[in-house]
Amino acid sequence: MFGSKKKSDAKFVSGGHTLIDHSVQVKGCINFSGNLDLEGTIIGDVIADKQSDALICVMDKGVVKGKIIAPKVIVHGSVEGNIYSSKHLELASSAVVHGDVHYSVIEMIKGAEVNGSLVHTDPEKTLNAGIERAPVEPVKVTTHKADSKKATAMGNPAKAV
C-alpha cells in the first residue's frame, strides 16, 4: 500500500534543477544534467550529459538557436536547430522548430510546427549524434533588467554597462 506508487520522471530527474530566466541570454554551448528549464535565450548548442536522464524544457518564451541533444525534450517555445531526443520528445501546441527532429518516442500536440524532417532513430544513435562537433567556447551571459540596464558576465562578476 505505502511506497507502491511509481515516481514519475516527467517532472524531475536526478542531477539538480536549473532555470534560465526570461531576462537571460546565454551565448555558448551548455552542457547539463538533471532538469533545465529555459525561459530565456540560448545561442549555442544544449547538450545533456550522456550518463544522465536529463530533461530540457523550452518554455513558451524560451528560444534555442543551436542543436539540442538530450534524452528528454519538451518544447513549448522556439528551436532554431536540430533536436536529438533519445527517450521522449514532446512538442506542445505552441512549439516552433526550424530543423530536423530525431526521436525515439514523440508526442506532438495539434498546432506544433516543425520546419524540417521527423526522423525516428535508435536511442543510442540519437544520444551520440553531433557531440564530437560541439564547440567549446567561453560562455557569455547577459541579463536585461526592468530599467533597461544590462549586466554582462564573462568569467567575472557581473558589471553594469
Kindly tell me if the per-residue pLDDT of 81 is higher than 70: yes
The range of the structural domain enclosing residue 107 comes to 17-125+136-160
Which is more confident, 12 or 55?
Answer: 55
- Asked if residue 12 is part of any domain, the answer here is no
Neighbours of 66 (CB within 10 A): 21
Is 80 among the domain residues?
Answer: yes
d(CA 30, CA 46): 5
CB atoms within 10 A of CB 25: 18
| Cell numbers given for 120 | 525516428
pLDDT of residue 154: 41
Beta strand pairing call for 113-115 and 118-120: unpaired
In a domain, 48, yes or no: yes
59-68 pLDDT, tens digit per residue, is 999 999 999 9
Domain count, the chain: 1
> What pTM does this model have?
0.72
pLDDT tens-digit readout, 42-62: 999 999 998 889 999 999 999
Q: Which three cell numbers stand for residue 99?
A: 530543423
